[in-house]
Structure 1
Amino acid sequence: MQNIQLILQIYTGIFFFLNIFLFDYPLMAVADAVLFGGILALQLDLRKHLNIERSARLLIGIIVIFLSIYFVLAQGRNYSFIWFSMVPLLAFFLLGLHLGLYVSGIFLTALVAFVIWFAPQWPSYAINIPAVFNISLALFAVLTISRHYEKSREEAFSFLAKRNSELEILAKTDPLTQLNNRSHLDDVLEQELSRAQRHEHDLAVLILDTDHFKTLNDSYGHIVGDQVLKELSEVLLSHVRSSDNLGRWGGEEFLIIAPDTNEGGAVELAEKIRIAVAEHRFTDEKLHLTVSIGCAAYSSEDTLVSIVQRADNGLYQAKHDGRNCTRLGKTTRILRK
């Protein structure tokens, strides 16, 4: 909005001096001065109220009134009508599609009616220096405003693309750990399971849970507990492969989807992670944490539910066997006592 106002002020200033010193049209120079003052008042109004919609409508109103007066005074002189090409451009840019079409339609209809009624009484004008100025500057003004419109449109699309990308990341990310959230893990697991079934590739799922985390929260508070989860996420990230998908499964549980990994590879990965966590000292280097891990390797009968269920069975077995260990999940569910 401010750039459009500045462009129009520059043009009214140029024509103010041209109409006085070159074209010898003092009445047109007065109209230019009034338009310049009107745009300046709009700039002050915009700074005061910060209402772009109000400013846009007032600006279009001023331009329409000015061009109508200009057309009556010029009586077609020096191809003055070419400036009306700016009205639809500014109306669509500042008012939007529907209101811009409405304003442009009314203005151009009134203009055509006025020309049909009065044009026969006007003298004929040849192409002269003022006409060349009018045609050249009007076309340049249209090009300038069009370029500004296109630039604004590109910036708007770029902003929207950036926001959409940020929203997409937020939709996939756990806010505390910045890992994948459960919803995204479900999508990834479905894709990887489909790929494993289609191409007969290996696939493993690991579920790990922190041991005695409730005791840690009760002893040190939830703020420290959250910090421990963040650090644990970093430890896990540093020990999974780039092809693995790690995420927060819920609460203190994490899930790892490991493509092209068989049963032995899953246990090896789990043990590497378990040892790394056990050796790490959290927060102030005083807190010790261990994890229990359940693993399941893909079989041809597996579904999205069954492979996760078997990994969860392995996790339960690890908890049952004293924690801080890795267990392969069995097909049959072990009832929790």
Structure 2
Amino acid sequence: MSYHMRNNSINDPQDPLYRRVQFLRALLWVMFVSFLLLGCINQFLFAKPTLALYHFISSTLALAGTAWLRRRPSDTSVISLVVALATATLLVLYIVRSAGQGYALYWLSIYPPIVFFLLGRTWGYILSILVIGGCLTYVNQVAALWQPAPFTLRSLLNILTATAALIVILRHIEKTRAEAFHYLEKHNQKLEYIATTDPLTSLANRAKLDRALGNALRMRRQNDESFCLILGDIDHFKTINDVHGHPIGDVILIEMAQLLRNSVRNSDLIGRWGGEEFLLVLPNTDCDQAKMLAEKLRNTIAAFKFRNGIHITSSFGVACVRSDDDATSLMQRVDQALYAAKTSGRNRTVTDAELTEVELTTDQRATNMTP
């Protein structure tokens, strides 16, 4: 379902038809006023009722077009074609009636931007070639019959007015392009946020953390910048869900995320790694600083009263990048450090440098790990 059908309106600048409808309305009102004035002039000043009737009918049709757009603003295809053909008719008639006087051909310059904007590239090419080619063919046939035309005030006014009209049209087209780019950029930012943000905690999600870890490793290779990872886990979170329910568990995850967010630097990235696990990527941080931060987080969480007066503890693993690390090896070490913290009593912090002291194996983890 299209945007305008969902919103039932073309008054929102984010609607892709908004600028086209605005442009159509402006053209139709210009046609309505112009034909009405010409009809009055021919009827009352020059006593040409037949020509005046033609102008009054054209004015009525332009007014009907504005009414059509008001009632059915999303149906622009037919009215755009009608306006493009009507504009072509006006230009051709004016050029023919001018008979080479007053630089009337200059008005052809406004037609391509109008028709390209209203009808798109294909019909823009077709109608521009037909109208301009037809006019030039006609001029080539009859130019010998025209009298030499001096450059007069009428010539100057034609050039100035057509140039002003061209500037207004191009400004509208450029404004449309700029706004379309702006809204596309905003839409892409929203999509990027959705694609990289955990919907529950509003922290970075797994995809964004993976990307950040890859970037940190590249910076390490290029600039020898150190960084560390902290992987935290809420102790006995399954029991919390079983006793208090999953809605309370979700609230605790949200509050946990806020505690972490308030305890780190702007340059640090916090994300939800999965379930009740949170990963912190800490650029320009050594192992001692990372462990101090992990301990600070652990103590802050232990002292905090969560929803319904619940007190929880957490365990943390810390790993610092080494020269031969890739994402897999670094994540494996921080995961093993967290596992060591969990299996050695929980509510504690273990670094990757301490792993040899706990002598972990993959089989031990699979056998002993409990929520």
Assess same fold via TM > 0.5. Answer: yes
Match of 1:10 among 30, 54, 67: 30
Partner Cα distance (2:146, 2:260) in 1: 84
User: Post-superposition shift, 1:192?
Assistant: 1.8
Partner Cα distance (2:291, 2:167) in 1: 67
State the AA in 1 paired with 2:334. A
Structure 1 residues 250 and 167, CA gap change in structure 2 (3 angstroms): same
Q: Is the 8 A contact 2:31 2:62 kept in 1?
A: no
Alignment of 1:275 with 2:294, yes or no, is: no
Partner Cα distance (1:23, 1:134) in 2: 23
State the AA in 2 paired with 1:292. S
Partner Cα distance (1:84, 1:198) in 2: 59
Partner Cα distance (2:222, 2:101) in 1: 76
1:170-319 mapped onto 2 (5 Å cutoff): 170-284=194-308, 286-319=309-342
User: Post-superposition shift, 1:248?
Assistant: 1.0
Equivalent residue number for residue 148 of structure 1: 172
Partner Cα distance (2:45, 2:136) in 1: 26
Equivalent residue number for residue 37 of structure 1: 60
Partner Cα distance (2:180, 2:170) in 1: 15
TM-score (norm 1): 0.88
Partner Cα distance (1:54, 1:219) in 2: 64
Matched position secondary structure for 2:199: coil
Structure 1 residues 199 and 115, CA gap change in structure 2 (3 angstroms): closer
Structure 1 residues 54 and 211, CA gap change in structure 2 (3 angstroms): farther
- Residues 223-254 of structure 1: CA deviation (Å, up to 9, x unaligned): 33222211111100111122222111112111
Partner Cα distance (2:150, 2:222) in 1: 78
State the AA in 2 paired with 1:230. I
After alignment, is 13-22 or 50-59 more displaced?
Answer: 13-22
Partner Cα distance (1:161, 1:25) in 2: 57
Equivalent residue number for residue 326 of structure 1: 349
State the AA in 2 paired with 1:258. L
Structure 1 residues 30 and 70, CA gap change in structure 2 (3 angstroms): farther
After alignment, is 274-283 or 21-30 more displaced?
Answer: 21-30
Partner Cα distance (1:31, 1:119) in 2: 27
After alignment, is 259-268 or 204-213 more displaced?
Answer: 259-268
Alignment of 1:56 with 2:76, yes or no, is: no
Q: Is the 8 A contact 1:56 1:94 kept in 2?
A: yes
After alignment, is 173-182 or 129-138 more displaced?
Answer: 129-138
User: Post-superposition shift, 1:157?
Assistant: 1.5
Supply the RMSD in Å over aligned alpha carbons.
2.8
For structure 1, which runs of at least 5 residues remain unmatched after alignment? none
After alignment, is 229-238 or 131-140 more displaced?
Answer: 131-140
Partner Cα distance (2:256, 2:195) in 1: 22
User: Post-superposition shift, 1:298?
Assistant: 2.2
Alignment of 1:109 with 2:123, yes or no, is: no
Partner Cα distance (1:293, 1:62) in 2: 74
State the AA in 2 paired with 1:3. Q
Structure 1 residues 263 and 128, CA gap change in structure 2 (3 angstroms): closer
- Residues 165-189 of structure 1: CA deviation (Å, up to 9, x unaligned): 2223333222221111111211211
Partner Cα distance (2:251, 2:223) in 1: 41
After alignment, is 73-82 or 319-328 more displaced?
Answer: 73-82
Partner Cα distance (2:260, 2:47) in 1: 79
Q: Is the 8 A contact 2:271 2:280 kept in 1?
A: yes
Matched position secondary structure for 1:295: strand
Q: Is the 8 A contact 2:36 2:59 kept in 1?
A: no
After alignment, is 114-123 or 241-250 more displaced?
Answer: 114-123
State the AA in 1 paired with 2:212. V
After alignment, is 102-111 or 322-331 more displaced?
Answer: 322-331
Partner Cα distance (1:140, 1:250) in 2: 61
After alignment, is 45-54 or 183-192 more displaced?
Answer: 45-54
Partner Cα distance (1:205, 1:18) in 2: 78
Partner Cα distance (1:31, 1:194) in 2: 73
Partner Cα distance (2:300, 2:264) in 1: 11
Partner Cα distance (2:31, 2:79) in 1: 19
Structure 1 residues 160 and 30, CA gap change in structure 2 (3 angstroms): farther
